[in-house]
Amino acid sequence: MSDYTHILVGVDLTEESRPVTQRACALSKAFNADLSCIHVIEPLSLAYGGDIPMDLSTIQEQIQETAKIHLAEFAQTWSIAAENQHLVFGRPEIEIHNMASQIGADLIVVGSHGRHGLALLLGSTSTGVLHGAGCDVLAVRVGQT
Ligand code: AMP
């Protein structure tokens, strides 16, 4: 097995991003690998479709601006270079896969709540990332079960 060369960590910008990124950062140092991060903004139109009869573009722009600032602040604390910080729109699991192949990542790191029962049936981002990933995926256990 060869060493990892480029690690991609998915950050949802909640408190749980910290332990997940800490693990990704430690692995990148251990393997002397590049570290990139991605935050995916789910478009309001995807979540609400035509259910809300109003123009959501201004709110969407504000969400993007806020996310951009938070991602830059967060990434800076982990010394992740600006060119390795990625902010994209879409569904997290799909965009994380796309970004991993775009940057040639050989390990994706995400958080996992280790949910079970109904929540497991409904799925989670970590489950979605694991399915169909073109490289290794590490699910870092976070939060309470
Ligand atoms: P969740 O299934 O939503 O609890 O998320 C599990 C993990 O998936 C998080 O700890 C992140 O690593 C990743 N993730 C969830 N949402 C996003 C997002 N919007 N952008 C990037 N990564 C995400």
- pLDDT average per 10 residues of sequence, the chain (145 residues): 92 95 98 98 76 78 95 97 97 97 98 70 81 95 76
Tell me, yes or no, whether 131 lies in a domain. yes
Domain carrying residue 98: 6-141
Q: Tell me how many domains the chain contains.
A: 1
What pLDDT does residue 56 have?
77
pLDDT in the model for residue 33: 98
Pocket perturbation via mutation, ligand 1, pick of 126, 129, 142, 145 by most ligand atoms within 8 A of CB: 126
Does residue 46 lie within any of the structural domains? yes
d(C-alpha 7, C-alpha 18), whole Å: 16
| CATH assignment of the domain containing 91 | 3.40.50.620
Q: Which atom of ligand 1 is nearest to the CA of 109?
A: 12
Classify residue 1: in a domain, yes or no. no
Residue 133 falls within a domain, yes or no? yes
What pLDDT is stored for residue 111 in this prediction?
94
For residue 130, CA distances in Å to 58, 80, 109 come to 34, 24, 10
